[in-house]
């Protein structure tokens, strides 16, 4: 698949020069900062040195006062509280966080994760019945519930109150809960709209502490759960999420809870975790619990106080992750064979696919065929599935336009879940293709690599690299800078590596041979015939360190070659 390269426009040279002088940094660093909206010393100080006091007052969130009042009453009256949440990473970390937080104040706390296969996504009648049968009078619902109008009404009839902590888009009406905490509510003036579900739960914990004059320091240990959720849910790592991620990574790397420590060990990555390590090392294993067996297994691990037991549980979940990988590969292969050529969208379905991996498979289809994709399978007599989208296209809105054919749906711009009757599949597939075709542009159907800046060889050095590292945590809206070099050649030491000889290992230099940098391009062996013939080429890359035989060098990790 050919990628489109888009070079970000250079910002105003006067602003760059002023920032360069103000901070004492190079033009390269100043340019990268201005591109991120950092234009003066104070902006840079906030960006490079996040502080806990940069977090917003939680009571700016609509209904927060009601939530804290109801929670305080429940705790003082020793009511039974059920902490309820979704079975994905955001949901299970949010449930773990709220459970651990409330356990400090009351023993009458339990957690509940719906079964992916028996109950499906979100609030379930079975969960409410469980609460009624076991005398729970309050449900704190996390990472779901914003559309659970009928189910919250059902709970109310049974004398059960709801506090909803969600971050998904609301429908036209809100559930009649005691409090609905969701920064995406139209009537909510909370300054930061992009919290994850676990983040909203953390704001409730922060508000409760603030109201009762408890120390914020007591909440710091919970931030390892928050950063795992932020990373896994792919929310923008700017504003409040940047602060929570920054301190969350500190907690994760210095004093993680036992469950996360055990997961870090079985992931076999490295001593110090960054956002990418969380995304690829921790998150898939937490997700695998809910995909293969039950999300409760993830919560039980995350709240585990005994390290030896946590290691046993982490090994168990790791086996589920291996199973998940095998399912993912086989189902992806089947799904690829069903793709309709020349369509603007993909909708594939099989009764035999494992419900737990349809979201992953949808992402895999986009990697191969870059178009909005929906993968469905049979569950409880209906079709249930996941949608993933391409850059710039709002798949949630496209599904919304077909909502009369659906039993249930919800999600975000780039990811959604849906349930429909089997007999609606053919009509939905046609309608979805019509909606996508009418609104997607040809440009959106070409994968794009956004390049921050064209570099000069002399600008690549350890000083630049060290400052770039301080721009972390990297993630959506603050991605690791992608740089470009034009007209480079291989110094003659280039070769193919890997068991299948599919990767490139190069010595990148310019035509004057002034400097040479090691470079690696994964899956780029097809470029080697021209490269070894000394033909000049352009690369876009990220800068990283590579340690080999006790020696540390800068390495260019190539993202694409032209």
Per-residue pLDDT tens digits of the chain, which is 562 residues long: 789 999 999 999 999 999 999 999 999 999 999 999 999 999 999 999 999 999 999 999 999 999 999 999 999 999 999 999 998 999 999 999 999 999 999 999 999 999 887 887 889 999 999 999 999 999 999 999 999 999 999 999 999 999 999 999 898 999 999 999 999 999 999 999 999 999 999 999 999 999 999 999 999 999 999 999 999 988 999 999 999 999 999 999 999 999 999 999 999 877 789 999 999 999 999 988 887 788 899 999 999 999 999 999 999 999 988 888 898 899 999 999 999 999 999 999 999 998 888 989 999 999 999 999 999 999 888 999 999 999 999 999 999 999 999 998 988 888 899 999 999 999 999 999 999 999 999 999 999 999 999 999 989 999 999 999 999 999 989 999 999 999 999 998 899 999 999 999 999 998 777 789 999 999 999 999 999 988 899 999 999 998 878 888 999 999 999 9
Count the domains in the chain. Answer: 3
d(CA 242, CA 103): 28
- List CB contacts of 138: < 8 A, sequence separation 6 or more: 70, 71, 74, 79, 80, 81, 82, 160, 161, 162, 163
Neighbours of 41 (CB within 10 A): 12
**Dist CA 315 CA 313 (whole Å):** 5
Bridge partner list, 416: 387, 411
CA 90/CA 1 separation, integer angstroms: 32
- The pLDDT value given to residue 364: 93
Burial zone of 150 (CB within 10 Å; 0-12 exposed, 13-18 middle, 19+ buried): exposed
- Asked if 409 and 418 count as a contact pair (C-beta separation under 8 A), the reply is yes
CATH number for the domain harbouring residue 556 = 2.40.50.460
Q: Which of 421, 445, 469 is the last residue of a domain?
A: 445
Strand partners, 483: 453, 541
Q: Are residues 146 and 265 in the same domain?
A: yes
What's phi and psi for 220, nearest 5 deg? Answer: -55, -45
Alpha carbon of 442 to those of 9, 64, 393, 446, 478: distances in Å?
A: 22, 44, 11, 7, 26
CA distance 133 to 513: 76
How many of the other CB atoms lie within 10 Å of CB of 114?
Answer: 25
Q: For the chain, how many residues are written?
A: 562
Contact yes or no for 34/10 (Cβ under 8 A) = no
Sign of the torsion formed by the C-alpha atoms of 558, 518, 272 and 470:
negative
pLDDT of residue 92: 97
- Indicate whether 490 and 429 sit together in one domain: no
Q: What is the pLDDT of residue 414?
A: 87
Residue 288 lies in a domain: yes
HSE value, Cβ hemisphere, 13 Å, CA-based, for 102: 30
* Residue 472 sits in the same domain as residue 414: no
Residues 505, 543 within the same domain? yes
Are residue 286 and residue 343 in the same domain, yes or no? no
> What's the pTM value of the predicted model, to 2 decimals?
0.90
Are 441 and 463 found together in one domain?
no
| Same structural domain, 290 and 344 | no
The reply to whether 234 falls in a domain is yes
pLDDT of residue 561: 96
SS3 content of the chain, % helix, strand, coil (to 5): 45, 20, 35
Is residue 543 a contact partner of residue 525, using CB atoms and an 8 Å limit? no
* Cis, peptide link before residue 380, omega less than 30° from 0: no
How many angstroms separate the CA atoms of 400 and 410, rounded? 9
Residue 360 lies in a domain: yes
Are 99 and 218 in a shared domain? yes
The CATH number linked to 63 is 3.90.1640.30
Q: Does residue 345 share a domain with residue 466? A: no
- Tell me whether residue 52 is in a domain: no
pLDDT in tens, 346-359: 999 999 998 888 98
Q: How far is CA 315 from CA 253, 297, 323, 360, 528, in A?
A: 20, 12, 13, 22, 40
Helices and strands (DSSP H and E) totals, the chain: 20, 19
Distances from the Cα of 308 to the Cαs of 200, 311, 330, in angstroms? 31, 5, 34
Token code pair at residue 387: 């949608």
In terms of domains, do 282 and 428 share one? no
Same domain, 79 and 202: yes
Range of the domain at 354: 328-445
- In this structure, the answer to whether residues 148 and 264 fall within a common structural domain is yes
Q: Bridge-partner residues for 379, per DSSP?
A: 382
> Which one of 319, 350, 366 terminates a domain?
319
Boundary of a domain, candidates 411, 445, 479? 445
Q: For residue 117, tell me if it sits in a domain.
A: yes
In a domain, 39, yes or no: no
389 vs 496: CA distance, rounded Å: 33
């Amino acid at each position: 698949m050919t990628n489109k390269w888009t070079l970000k426009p250079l910002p105003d040279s006067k602003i760059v020069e002023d920032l360069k002088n103000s901070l004492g940094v190079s033009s390269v660093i100043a340019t990268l900062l201005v591109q991120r909206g950092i234009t003066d010393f104070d902006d840079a100080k906030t960006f490079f040195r996040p502080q806990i006091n940069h977090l917003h007052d939680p009571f700016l969130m609509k209904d927060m006062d009601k939530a804290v009042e109801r929670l305080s009453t429940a705790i003082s009256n020793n009511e039974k509280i059920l902490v309820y949440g979704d079975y994905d990473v955001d949901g299970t970390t949010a449930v773990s966080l709220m459970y651990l937080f409330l356990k400090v104040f009351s023993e009458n706390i339990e957690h509940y994760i719906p079964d992916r296969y028996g109950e499906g996504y979100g609030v379930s009648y079975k969960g409410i019945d469980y609460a009624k049968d076991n005398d729970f009078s309050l449900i704190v619902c996390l990472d779901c519930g914003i559309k659970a109008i009928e189910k919250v009404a059902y709970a109310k009839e049974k004398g059960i109150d709801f506090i909803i902590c969600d971050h998904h888009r609301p429908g036209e009406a809100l559930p009649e809960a005691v409090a609905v905490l969701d920064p995406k509510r139209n009537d909510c003036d909370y300054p930061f709209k992009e919290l994850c579900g676990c983040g909203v739960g953390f704001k409730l914990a922060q508000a409760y502490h603030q109201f009762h004059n408890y120390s914020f320091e007591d909440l710091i240990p919970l931030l390892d759960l928050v950063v795992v959720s932020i990373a896994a849910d792919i929310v923008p790592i700017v504003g409040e999420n940047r602060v929570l991620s920054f301190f969350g990574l500190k907690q994760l790397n210095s004093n993680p809870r036992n469950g996360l420590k055990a997961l870090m060990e079985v992931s076999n990555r490295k001593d110090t975790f960054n956002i990418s390590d969380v995304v690829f090392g921790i998150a898939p294993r937490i997700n695998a619990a809910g995909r293969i067996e039950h999300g409760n297994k993830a919560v039980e691990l995350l709240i585990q106080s005994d390290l030896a037991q946590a290691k046993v549980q982490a090994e168990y979940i790791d086996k589920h992750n291996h199973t998940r990988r095998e399912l993912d590969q086989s189902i992806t292969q089947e799904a690829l064979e069903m793709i309709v050529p020349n369509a603007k969208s993909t909708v594939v379905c099989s009764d035999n696919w494992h419900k737990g991996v349809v979201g992953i498979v949808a992402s895999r289809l986009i990697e191969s065929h870059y178009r909005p994709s929906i993968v469905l399978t049979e569950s409880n007599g209906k079709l249930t599935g996941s949608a993933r989208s391409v850059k710039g296209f709002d798949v949630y809105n496209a599904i919304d336009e077909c909502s009369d054919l659906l039993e249930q749906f919800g999600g975000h711009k780039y990811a959604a879940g849906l349930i429909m009757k089997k007999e609606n599949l053919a009509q939905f597939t046609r309608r979805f293709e019509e909606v996508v075709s009418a609104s997607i542009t040809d440009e959106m159907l070409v994968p794009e690599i956004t390049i921050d800046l064209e570099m000069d060889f002399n600008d690549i050095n350890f000083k630049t690299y060290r400052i770039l590292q301080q721009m972390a945590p990297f993630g959506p809206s603050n991605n690791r800078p992608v740089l470009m070099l034009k007209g480079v050649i291989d110094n003659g030491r280039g070769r193919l590596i890997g068991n299948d000889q599919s990767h490139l290992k190069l010595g990148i230099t310019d035509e004057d041979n002034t400097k040479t940098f090691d470079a690696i391009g994964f899956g780029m062996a097809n470029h080697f015939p021209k490269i070894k013939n000394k033909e000049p080429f352009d690369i876009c890359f990220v800068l990283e360190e590579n340690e080999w035989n006790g020696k540390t060098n800068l390495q260019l990790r190539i993202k694409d070659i032209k």
